[in-house]
């Protein structure tokens, strides 16, 4: 069995080589090792989800009937998910340029990796895998407010692309696009990927980077080494981050309604030019990210 492993997958390599971004999930290709890796990841994290995940996430997990023993079929997940919020998981072969990614969200589609991390490295994750995308992200998409927030990110990207394409000078377009993409990517990172939320008197995780990491989920909420602050838009959009370490700084939202309104605020800032020159540093914005905004058909 060739397997669909993050570090080695002939099917994915072929799709990437042929330039196919959106693909199917060739379920028959998963190896026994892929299924075992999934089962191990899933069973290991259960007690931590119960202790550290926000209640909406736990409700989402129950609603999706995720298979604990085998790699889930995306089609099965979508059959449960779609009637709830209109969202569906959409299999992809790898990285999706920024505008296309946000545009998928606007259309209630979530680009989803279909490979599973190597069984010998359950804790080391150089790039998203299916456990991150399906077990970490998708349960939140069962919640209406959260789903609407993702759509709002997509609308924000649309406003940004309109603003950028209206500019006459190509150099200025590129500079503006780089800054706006950086701002949006940072805000997405500190909320959807690594966000904390108030739950009564306690804090809980809703960011998928935390919810899909056995180690960091506990660390993010228990460790005295982590700085946890109420989110401020002007801070998050200017704050750089490193993806290969546990996060030293996390931001807290009061509720998903609060998060939704912040994305609306971000969209306003995009239109007003307030994030047209954010501070430099991570994340890296690639040429294909910039081009995706400049050439988007609006
Ligand atoms: Fe993610």
Statement: residue 99 has pLDDT above 80: yes
Residues 279, 220, 286, 289: is their CA dihedral positive or negative?
Answer: negative
Tell me the H-state helices in the chain: 10-17, 32-52, 55-64, 74-85, 98-106, 130, 144-166, 170-188, 208-211, 214-222, 233-236, 256-272, 287-294
Of the chain, the percentage scoring pLDDT greater than 90 comes to 94
Distance 169 CA to ligand 1 centre (A): 34
Q: What pTM does this model have?
A: 0.97
User: What gap in Å lies between CA 182 and CA 192, rounded to an integer?
Assistant: 15
Report the pLDDT value the prediction gives residue 124, as an integer from 0 to 100.
67
Distance 72 CA to ligand 1 centre (A): 18
| One-character DSSP codes across 99-165 | HHHHHHHHTTEEEEE--B--GGGSS--SS--HIIIIIIIGGGGGSHHHHHHHHHHHHHHHHHHHHHH
In whole numbers, what is the pLDDT of the chain averaged over residues? 96
Classify 74 as helix, strand or coil: helix
Distance 137 CA to ligand 1 centre (A): 7
The total of other beta-carbon atoms located within 10 Å of residue 298's CB is 9
Statement: residue 125 has pLDDT above 80: no
Q: Could you give the angle at the alpha carbon of 128 between the alpha carbons of 127 and 129, nearest 5°?
A: 115
Report the pLDDT value the prediction gives residue 275, as an integer from 0 to 100.
97
User: Which residues are known to be catalytic?
Assistant: 132, 137, 193, 212
Distance 171 CA to ligand 1 centre (A): 31
Distance 132 CA to ligand 1 centre (A): 6
Predicted confidence (pLDDT) per residue in 21-35, tens digit: 999 999 999 999 999
Stretch 169-183: mean pLDDT, rounded?
97
Classify 4 as helix, strand or coil: coil
Residues of 171-209 as b/e, b for ≥16 C-beta within 10 angstroms?
Answer: eebbbbbbbbbbbbbbbbbbbbbbbbbeeeeebbbbbbb
Report the pLDDT value the prediction gives residue 115, as an integer from 0 to 100.
96
State the helix-helix crossing angle for 32-52 and 55-64, rounded to 10 degrees: 140
Distances in whole angstroms, Cα of residue 123 to Cα of each of 3, 48, 116, 119, 286: 19, 15, 12, 9, 27
Predicted confidence (pLDDT) per residue in 38-47, tens digit: 999 999 999 9
Ramachandran bin of 273, using left for φ above 0, alpha for ψ from -120 to 50, beta for the remaining angles: left
Statement: residue 188 has pLDDT above 70: yes
For residue 274, the number of C-alpha atoms closer than 13 Å in the C-beta half-sphere is: 12
Cis, peptide link before residue 283, omega less than 30° from 0? yes
Give strand pairing partners of 90.
Answer: 111
Predicted confidence (pLDDT) per residue in 108-117, tens digit: 999 999 999 9
Domain 10-294: CATH architecture, name and number where available: Orthogonal Bundle (1.10)
Statement: residue 1 has pLDDT above 90: no
| One-character DSSP codes across 162-176 | HHHHH-S-HHHHHHH
User: What gap in Å lies between CA 181 and CA 172, rounded to an integer?
Assistant: 14
Report the pLDDT value the prediction gives residue 138, as an integer from 0 to 100.
98
Distance 167 CA to ligand 1 centre (A): 31
Strand 202-205 vs strand 196-199: parallel, antiparallel, or unpaired? antiparallel
């Amino acid at each position: 069995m060739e397997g669909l492993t993050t570090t080695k997958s002939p099917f994915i390599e072929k799709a990437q080589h042929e330039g196919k971004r959106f693909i199917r999930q060739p379920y028959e290709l998963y190896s026994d090792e892929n299924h075992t890796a999934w089962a191990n990841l899933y069973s290991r994290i259960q007690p931590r989800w119960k202790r550290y995940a926000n209640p909406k996430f736990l409700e989402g997990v129950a609603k999706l009937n995720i298979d604990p023993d085998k790699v889930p079929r995306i089609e099965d997940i979508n059959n449960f998910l779609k009637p709830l919020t209109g969202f569906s998981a959409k299999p992809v072969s790898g990285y999706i340029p920024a505008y296309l990614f946000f545009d998928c969200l606007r259309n209630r589609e979530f680009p989803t990796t279909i490979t599973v991390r190597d069984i010998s490295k359950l804790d080391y994750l150089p790039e998203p895998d299916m456990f991150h995308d399906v077990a970490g992200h998708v349960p939140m998409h069962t919640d209406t407010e959260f789903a609407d927030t993702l759509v709002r990110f997509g609308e924000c990207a649309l406003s940004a692309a309109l603003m950028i394409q209206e500019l006459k000078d190509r150099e200025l377009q590129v500079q503006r696009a780089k800054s706006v993409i950086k701002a949006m990517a940072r805000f997405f990172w500190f909320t959807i990927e690594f966000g904390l939320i108030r739950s009564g008197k306690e804090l809980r995780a809703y960011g998928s980077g935390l919810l899909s990491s056995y180690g960091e989920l506990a660390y993010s909420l228990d460790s005295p080494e982590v700085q946890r602050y109420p989110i401020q838009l002007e801070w998050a959009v200017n704050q750089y981050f490193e993806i290969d370490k546990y996060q030293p700084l996390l931001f807290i939202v009061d509720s998903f309604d609060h998060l939704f309104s912040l994305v609306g605020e971000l969209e306003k800032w995009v239109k007003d030019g307030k994030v047209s020159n954010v501070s430099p540093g991570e994340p890296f914005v690639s040429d294909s990210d910039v081009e995706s905004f400049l050439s988007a058909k609006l």
